[in-house]
Structure 1
């Protein structure tokens, strides 16, 4: 909306020689309309926010009437009074000016002749244009967000669109003031994250409706089926308060639809936390940001890191897609009173990061967490494999430890540990081979040791069984439904093709390591286990 100051800045109005003679502190009042009136009781016809234009004919030579008139204007909550000099007054009447100053009503005099019709037409045209622009902005934003929802766009894509329309940082926070997602200028977001302790306290004081906080912050509640589950925040919106509220409301509507389509209130809460955790874990595991950049985000998500032991876990489902594993681990973390994040990775696994006090035994706490998750899951027996990385005390140690957890979980798929959690020491040679499986030197070693068998898959399978059974020919023959003579013939063929002696332990160890590495590479390429 236009303000009194904006109206005085219009070229047409400026040509009338306006002068503010009282109430200058109120020049930023919004203007709702312009009203031309000479009646003394005009106040009863007003509803607030008007600029009243008058020549003051009925106020001439009557200081008491002038004071009463300004009291009526104050009572009607007008935006300003504009007095055209020349007909009733040559200069500003002192009583009118004193009354306006005392009541804080802006009083403007026009020193040059001013056709009130042109004044009114100009201001009304600007007001209508502003209102049309606001309606147009609302329609464009609603249409853009609806189109994204219909196309199945992600939450992040929706927030990016809101930030583009608003031109300021945007955040989605849950009821515990944890940042679930954000969009907008990275520098501004970083400043907010670094000061999140203070910012979150101010956010918590915003009331349930769309409201305006300090420094132009605007917050809108996100609700589903009568329950609030998050709040959308615009930080430092530079437009009018009304426009900011409108943008926040349209965005809240679209985000509520986005979450409800995904599964209602429970999904809205748990799904958003999962997305936030997934994004944070991906950045921590990849090392894509500097620790000083990631630290404010981690804290804003509610994960303590100072004087803590951080343990990365990779959880791989043994059967099916493992639906709900991330939610399962988040709930068990909460039940156990442990701080942590859990979210899906891009490798059909979930990543879990547990934050523990330094004086707590990390191994015991993690084992208890995984055992609880096993107890809570449906069905019996082992449903997933958990690989743990090395304990970390700083964020920059996490990428290497997450990579270690991935390799341990991969190795443990083929040979599950007896305990609930596999660690590097549990996977022995198989784990070492998987850690090195992408090294070019290891690939060359595999080719040297096993190359001639790649075209003879049956012989490669026979060698695998022979080594896995500890060179027990009877068991190997049974696995393949061969007679012992048939197995002997195939073993002889292997020796001939590879030019090895299967009774030589050094050569057997080389073949075993090469076969482990080959299987690890095949598993990585296919996303599964070859045995």
Structure 2
């Protein structure tokens, strides 16, 4: 038999509207007890509950249980209550029933449960229509239920959930406090936010460029595809709130009192995760987002480098080291940073040497130059003393003037630096090849050797035999080859005070022409013949052999570059 009572108030200080996390249980799961959860409890299931209206809203959270036999129970409610009644107090007239339901809906009661044992054996049509018009869940019980037992069971679950929620919130605060105390950077903060919430989180600046993306349950491509357009359709706000067509939870991030970006927490794919009006995010998610924004503000004060620069560095390093999970992920990430990923020609520019300690300053100068030129590009430090630039040019656009301007910016600040350029590529996925080629060009750049007039950067066409051997000078195989072929001659010159190595150089440079060799060495032809015979004897070679002359010329070139250091 039902036991009715007056208003059963919830405890003070407990909030309403905790979001349901899909797939979790009702108790100790990180989400609120819902109407569906309550109806599944044995104490209510024994009454054979039937959902008459509001079937799509059974995910609504239950904040408390309210037993009532009053004609105006709404005046005692605060929202989120599961209202239990025998139906005895319901008005007789249709207008009165409509007013009764409207008042419950206006205070956001979770559901109305009516027992069909005493007054009614079927719900009044007026009640059904009134609940349907307000999308209020109406549940009937065909059998007698002990309402007081229902309150005891449900309230125990709710209070247990609230205690668990307090513990979870405390752990969130402790985790972010620890991050702040150890001076964590933005990547660490965003990674922690994604791990604690189990959600995808994205940090963007004011022009809707995604600087950091920590996906959860999605790929980078899925998260960042069409990012700018999607982000612009999600309006800003001053407080953490669910906004936009996809139901993002967003909050602003400030720096020195000025808003400079925001953090977005995304619901699970395919978009709005709230089914039947249930919130997609829990209070713990809101707490994580709030603490994330606070931690990012502090990190911005600690880490002076603009985060756009940090994002460019990270993206370029992942590209050159090919750490992206897929080409699609790379395209989505670069597009979210504002770089065209279709219909462009890509070119890698590297600066090496002489810039160590000034990477940040040089990054800034190069970025300003590219902005002045109106060229989309990413600029970032790839390693100490090495800065990379990825240019995205129009297909018909000439790249040499841009490379020259960038090179002059670098050399104006660091005259000893080497600027190298890789080949053009038409796919972003091939950009690492352009960077590798530019790196090889830089390694082969001979110190002190002038470049062609009007050009201050190095390119692949500059790399000849001498440059190649210079790049390979640390390879012991090159060193061993030079020593085996020419070491005996160098030792002979040292012991006897001769200069046969110079004679050999003149002979090889003259392509075996003895007359030219004599003229260049200021020697008689007889002396040249005599010296060449001595060289053949010391080296055990035949100077008339084209193959041996090629080997000796290569060895001599290797010896020259090895002496450069």
Flag whether TM exceeds 0.5 (same fold).
yes
Question: In angstroms, what is the RMSD of aligned CA positions?
Answer: 3.7
- The answer as to 2:152 corresponding to 1:121 is yes
Question: Could you list the runs of 5+ residues in structure 1 that have no partner in the other structure?
Answer: 460-465, 472-494, 520-529
Say whether the 8 Å CA contact 1:407–1:431 is kept in structure 2.
no
**Comparing both structures, which one devotes a greater share of its residues to helix?**
1
* Residues 53 and 275 of structure 1: CA distance in aligned 2, closer, same or farther (over 3 Å): same
* 1:210 alignment partner in structure 2: 240
* 2:347 alignment partner in structure 1: 311
| 1:162 CA displacement | 2.1
* 2:523 alignment partner in structure 1: none
SS at structure 1 position matched to 2:383: coil
Question: In structure 1, which of residues 30, 45, 56 is the aligned counterpart of residue 87 of structure 2?
Answer: 56
Question: Deviation per CA, 1:93-136, whole angstroms, max 9, x where unpaired?
Answer: 44433333333322223333322222122222222333333333
| 1:436 CA displacement | 4.2
* 2:370 alignment partner in structure 1: 333
* Residues 92 and 516 of structure 1: CA distance in aligned 2, closer, same or farther (over 3 Å): farther
Equivalent-residue separation in structure 1 for 2:333 and 2:488 (angstroms): 52
* 1:321 alignment partner in structure 2: 357
Say whether the 8 Å CA contact 2:220–2:332 is kept in structure 1.
no
* 2:321 alignment partner in structure 1: 286
* 1:405 alignment partner in structure 2: 438
* Mapping 1:229-240, distance limit 5 Å: 229-237=260-268, 240=281
* Mapping 1:162-181, distance limit 5 Å: 162-181=193-212
Equivalent-residue separation in structure 2 for 1:155 and 1:129 (angstroms): 35
* Residues 66 and 355 of structure 1: CA distance in aligned 2, closer, same or farther (over 3 Å): closer
Question: Deviation per CA, 1:51-95, whole angstroms, max 9, x where unpaired?
Answer: 222233333766664443223323333222222343444443444
Say whether the 8 Å CA contact 2:172–2:287 is kept in structure 1.
no
Equivalent-residue separation in structure 1 for 2:387 and 2:107 (angstroms): 63
Equivalent-residue separation in structure 2 for 1:518 and 1:124 (angstroms): 83
Say whether the 8 Å CA contact 2:482–2:556 is kept in structure 1.
no
Say whether the 8 Å CA contact 1:100–1:107 is kept in structure 2.
yes
| 1:197 CA displacement | 5.8
Equivalent-residue separation in structure 2 for 1:34 and 1:77 (angstroms): 13
- The answer as to 2:333 corresponding to 1:297 is yes
* Mapping 1:258-407, distance limit 5 Å: 258-263=299-304, 267=305, 270=306, 272-289=307-324, 291-318=327-354, 320-324=356-360, 325-372=362-409, 382=415, 384-407=417-440
* 1:134 alignment partner in structure 2: 165
- The answer as to 2:220 corresponding to 1:189 is yes
Question: Deviation per CA, 1:17-64, whole angstroms, max 9, x where unpaired?
Answer: 222233434433332222223222322222222222223333376666
Question: In structure 1, which of residues 80, 89, 101 is the aligned counterpart of residue 132 of structure 2?
Answer: 101
Question: Deviation per CA, 1:215-272, whole angstroms, max 9, x where unpaired?
Answer: 4532222222222222222222466343433332222222222222113xxx4xx2x2
* Residues 215 and 70 of structure 1: CA distance in aligned 2, closer, same or farther (over 3 Å): same
The total of aligned residue pairs comes to 473
| 1:153 CA displacement | 4.2
* TM, length-normalised to structure 2: 0.72
SS at structure 1 position matched to 2:267: coil
* Residues 302 and 190 of structure 1: CA distance in aligned 2, closer, same or farther (over 3 Å): same
* 1:14 alignment partner in structure 2: 45
Equivalent-residue separation in structure 2 for 1:296 and 1:447 (angstroms): 52
* Residues 445 and 261 of structure 1: CA distance in aligned 2, closer, same or farther (over 3 Å): same
| 1:422 CA displacement | 2.4
SS at structure 2 position matched to 1:433: helix
* Residues 450 and 164 of structure 1: CA distance in aligned 2, closer, same or farther (over 3 Å): farther
* 1:433 alignment partner in structure 2: 469
Equivalent-residue separation in structure 1 for 2:398 and 2:429 (angstroms): 22
* Residues 147 and 191 of structure 1: CA distance in aligned 2, closer, same or farther (over 3 Å): same
Say whether the 8 Å CA contact 1:336–1:369 is kept in structure 2.
no
| 1:158 CA displacement | 3.0
* 1:489 alignment partner in structure 2: none
Bigger CA radius of gyration: 2
Say whether the 8 Å CA contact 1:177–1:200 is kept in structure 2.
yes
- The answer as to 2:106 corresponding to 1:78 is no
| 1:405 CA displacement | 1.7
Name the structure, 1 or 2, with higher relative contact order (CA <8 Å, separation 6+): 2
* Residues 395 and 26 of structure 1: CA distance in aligned 2, closer, same or farther (over 3 Å): closer
- The answer as to 2:557 corresponding to 1:513 is yes
Question: Deviation per CA, 1:336-375, whole angstroms, max 9, x where unpaired?
Answer: 2111111111242111111211222210122123334666
- The answer as to 2:471 corresponding to 1:442 is no
* Residues 383 and 116 of structure 1: CA distance in aligned 2, closer, same or farther (over 3 Å): farther
Say whether the 8 Å CA contact 2:365–2:409 is kept in structure 1.
no
Equivalent-residue separation in structure 1 for 2:381 and 2:186 (angstroms): 16
* Residues 305 and 240 of structure 1: CA distance in aligned 2, closer, same or farther (over 3 Å): closer
Say whether the 8 Å CA contact 2:200–2:266 is kept in structure 1.
yes
* Residues 194 and 22 of structure 1: CA distance in aligned 2, closer, same or farther (over 3 Å): closer
Say whether the 8 Å CA contact 2:254–2:297 is kept in structure 1.
yes
